[in-house]
Amino acid sequence: GAGVSQSPSNKVTEKGKDVELRCDPISGHTALYWYRQSLGQGLEFLIYFQGNSAPDKSGLPSDRFSAERTGGSVSTLTIQRTQQEDSAVYLCASSLADGGRGTQYFGPGTRLLVL
């Protein structure tokens, strides 16, 4: 079945370059989340979209990070002027509803390495 998909699966970039990560949520899911997971760590919440509401950006670590969700479906996470500490696995999840009422389904993640 069609789950959450993310692209690219792996990305190696040089310090200072911009990167774009893409997430295709499960069709019909109104909530979309971006998380970051550094090696051996738990998930770090980045940003949350729910329907047409303004996104919750409280988890974005700096103004180099931004995300948008077009048409309530596909989302793009952009990291500008990448730094080595941005290296992590970036995970996207979607759910039918917000809060704790919907099971979150995660994509396979994008593994980002900043040299």
**Nearest residue (CB) to other proteins, 14 versus 85:** 85
Q: Which residues bind other proteins (CB under 8 A)?
A: 33, 35, 41-48, 50, 56, 58-59, 91, 93, 98-106
Gap between the Cα atoms of 29 and 32, Å rounded: 8
Would the CA dihedral through 112, 95, 4, 75 be positive or negative?
negative
10 Å CB burial of residue 25 (0-12, 13-18, 19+) is buried
Q: To the nearest whole angstrom, how small is the minimum distance from the Cβ of residue 14 to other proteins?
A: 29
Q: How many CB atoms lie within 10 A of CB 27?
A: 8
**Nearest residue (CB) to other proteins, 13 versus 37:** 37
**Nearest residue (CB) to other proteins, 72 versus 102:** 102
Q: To the nearest whole angstrom, how small is the minimum distance from the Cβ of residue 63 to other proteins?
A: 19
